[in-house]
Chain A
Amino acid sequence: MPYIISDEYTSADVGLEVTGHDLAELFADAALGLTAIMTEIDRLNEGRCLEVALTAESLEELFMAWLSEIVYYKDAEQFLLKRCEFAVLDEAPPCLRATLTGDSIDPERQVLMADIKAVTYYKFRMARVNQTWRAEVVLDL
């Protein structure tokens, strides 16, 4: 499992622990882990595509902005992510360009579980350890 959903951090919200062999895997799995808390990803269609371009002052900030973008599209575009592909994902300067593929929210054919409303800095960690990228982040429900 590329991500673990955890309740070790707070009682009211949920933590996400992600690992990746490279940054693209880390970012993609974190976004999918976040989505998996909200819905059963297998039930999502791939009928919609969105383009995302982000820059940040640090790689950590880029990671947070990326996850916040997934939350933003859920509310503003009623969009749930099924998969993502990165055309650009650079450490220096930190930036990314990605295509999000997914589905519109539809309670009739999807299982809608918890609503993630924010990505928090509480206990946030991101580091490369022995060629593996790891991140821990708490999501506000």
Chain B
Amino acid sequence: MNREQFTRISENIWEIPRSFKDGMRVPARVLSSGSLIDGIDARVIDQITNVACLPGIRRYALCMPDGHVGYGFPIGGVAAFGIDDGIISPGGIGFDINCGMRLLRTDLTMDDLESKKERLLHELYNTIPSGVGSSGYVKLKQDQFRDIMERGLDWCLDNGYAVDHDLKHIENQGRIAGADHTTVSQKAISRGINQMGTLGSGNHYLEVAVAEPKDLFDRDLAGRFGIDRDNQILISIHCGSRGFGHQIATDYLQVFSTCAKKYGLSVRDRELMSAPVNSAEGQRYFRAMCCAANAAFVNRQLITHGVRQVFSRVFGIDAMKLGILTIYDVAHNIAKRERYTIEGREEELLVHRKGATRSFGPGHTEVPAAYRDIGQPVIVGGSMETGSALLCGTSIADRETFGSSLHGAGRTMSRMKAKKMMRGEAVQQRMRDHGILVKTGYMPGLAEEAANAYKDIDAVVDAVDAVGISRKVARFRPILNVKG
């Protein structure tokens, strides 16, 4: 793909016209800086223009600056579909339903942490299960897991794993309406029931980081989000619905494959298999997806509970007295029913975000009351070596990108290539040299997550800030990392 094939709409918005590919119903738009657009993978362009061919799509198929090749949709893909004429596609949501980020604040500063880093890392690693086949510390019965699917964080609150403040600072308060456990297979339940409270593996992690004064881009907004002191310690959690969500996606790809003919749907990529939003199959998948989304919120909450216990033990103070509070929790693999104005007419759409985060601006009714006047937090997970970032949603996102923004740095190098180029031990030493202690069950896997396997997080964050779909608030420097 070269620049001539794009129409440059503005400094960081590049449009691929409908004439690019037969069957495109709308143009595709890639949000990217000039330097990133030159390196974009041609497969990403193929995928986002395939998305633009799907029935009922509105305005544009969008790809965020961190976009990279996925299955069906690219990761970083956003598309909105009409409820009456559009589709729902597991390939537009991702296998790991409600993979997302949670960010916690603390009252602690770097000075408090300095002498306790080694112990803290050791205890976090031993308390929060990670890696292949790990099981959570909460042993659930089937009826409890059904409750988790349908009630999400309400279950955690009832059972002492959450405080009211958590619920008020999570997307949808950690409970998405519409979940129905009868739409979920026993296989999915069997895969998920023992995995609540586990990180998983791959690029999932638990990170303790510091917000240094030089990295606070907007002190007022940072303060509103609870980042209110110099060198403050924050904790971020990146994981999703584990095997439960994956099995739901697998099950419904099979269902959609069978019913595609009935609805006259053909796709360019089998991973884009879909069903009409309002069909029986589409509705069942949506309800099952909501179950997985709720389970993912619970998963991150149970990890939060474990983190609070560890900090409480290590510092000898109750976690609430350490000020360990949820700043926010965002889904970046999900489909949501949301209202937008299209060609002067307000309508409800099903917005697919796959590796993309909501970025609702000030005044949006779905932004928690505490942040409604400023916009929602947008939590961006970087590589484990370079750390994460916090941004704030904007009204421009509401107008231009179906209220969406980026989700991470965006992988550029394959896992195998990364492992060939670097040894995990070397990455661990390099991280140690930069003041980051990391622990993992499989050291070669750390090489896969090295900084040079990803895009430059500052470049992708700058791109969305420049477009105006999120505002930069802060960057965080990692201190401790438990790699899943």
Contacts and interface: CB of A to CB of B under 8 A. Distances in A.
Interface stretch (A24-32, A85-93, A109-117): A109-117
B280 interface: no
A99 B72 CA distance: 34
A99 B71 CA distance: 31
| Interface-central residue, A61, A117, A118, by most chain B CB under 10 Å | A117
Contact of A141 (B202, B250, B413): B202
A112 B150 CA distance: 33
Contact of B187 (A74, A76, A113): A76
Given A114-B202, A121-B271, A57 B243 contact: no
A9 B398 CA distance: 34
A120 B415 CA distance: 17
Interface string A1-33: 000011100111110000000000000000000
Contacts of A120: 71, 95, 271
A47 interface: no
B174 to A, nearest CB: 23
Nearest to B245: A117
B445 interface: yes
A78 B133 contact: yes
B195 interface: yes
A36 interface: no
Given A39-B132, A75-B195, A76-B191, A118 B250 contact: yes
A114 B132 contact: yes
A72 B247 contact: yes
A38 B414 contact: no
A7 B243 contact: no
A59 to B, nearest CB: 14
Given A11-B68, A76-B187, A112 B131 contact: yes
A105 interface: yes
A63 B72 CA distance: 20
Contact of B200 (A61, A115, A119): A115
A120 B270 CA distance: 9
A138 interface: yes
A74 to B, nearest CB: 7
A112 B68 contact: no
A118 B445 contact: no
B166 interface: no
B69 A11 contact: yes
Given A12-B415, A122-B269, A112 B133 contact: yes
Interface in A53-86: 57, 61, 68, 71-72, 74-76, 78
A118 B190 CA distance: 15
Contacts of B412: 11
A106 to B, nearest CB: 9
Given A11-B412, A117-B96, A120-B71, A105 B187 contact: no
A124 interface: yes
Interface in B420-466: 441-442, 444-445
A122 B72 CA distance: 7
A75 B70 contact: no
Interface string A100-141: 000001010001111101111110100000000000001011
Interface in B383-441: 411-417, 441
A140 B441 CA distance: 19
Interface string B327-366: 0000000000000000000000000000000000000000
Contacts of A138: 71
A68 to B, nearest CB: 6
Nearest to A112: B132
Contact of B270 (A38, A111, A124): A124
B69 A115 contact: no
Nearest to B204: A115
Interface string B60-92: 000000001111100100000000000000000
Nearest to B419: A7
Interface in B254-291: 254, 257-258, 269-271, 273
Interface string B201-221: 111000000000000000000
A122 B201 contact: no
B114 to A, nearest CB: 31
Contacts of A124: 270
A117 B68 CA distance: 19
Nearest to A9: B69
A75 B75 contact: no
Given A5-B416, A105-B133, A107-B131, A113 B247 contact: no
| Interface-central residue, A12, A71, A120, by most chain B CB under 10 Å | A12
A25 B47 CA distance: 33
Contacts of A111: 442
Given A11-B68, A112-B132, A120-B71, A76 B444 contact: no
A75 B247 CA distance: 10
Given A7-B416, A13-B415, 17 more contacts: A5-B416, A38-B132, A61-B254, A68-B250, A72-B247, A75-B194, A78-B135, A107-B132, A115-B202, A119-B250, A121-B269, A121-B271, A122-B72, A122-B271, A124-B270, A138-B71, A140-B71
Interface of B: 41, 68-72, 75, 95-96, 131-133, 135, 187, 190-192, 194-195, 200-203, 242-243, 246-247, 249-250, 253-254, 257-258, 269-271, 273, 411-417, 441-442, 444-445
By Cβ-Cβ distance, the 6 closest A-B pairs, closest first, are A105-B133, A7-B414, A121-B270, A7-B416, A76-B190, A75-B243
21 contacts: A6-B416, A7-B414, A7-B416, A12-B70, A74-B133, A75-B191, A75-B192, A107-B132, A107-B133, A107-B441, A111-B442, A112-B441, A113-B442, A114-B202, A117-B200, A117-B242, A121-B270, A122-B271, A140-B95, A140-B246, A141-B201
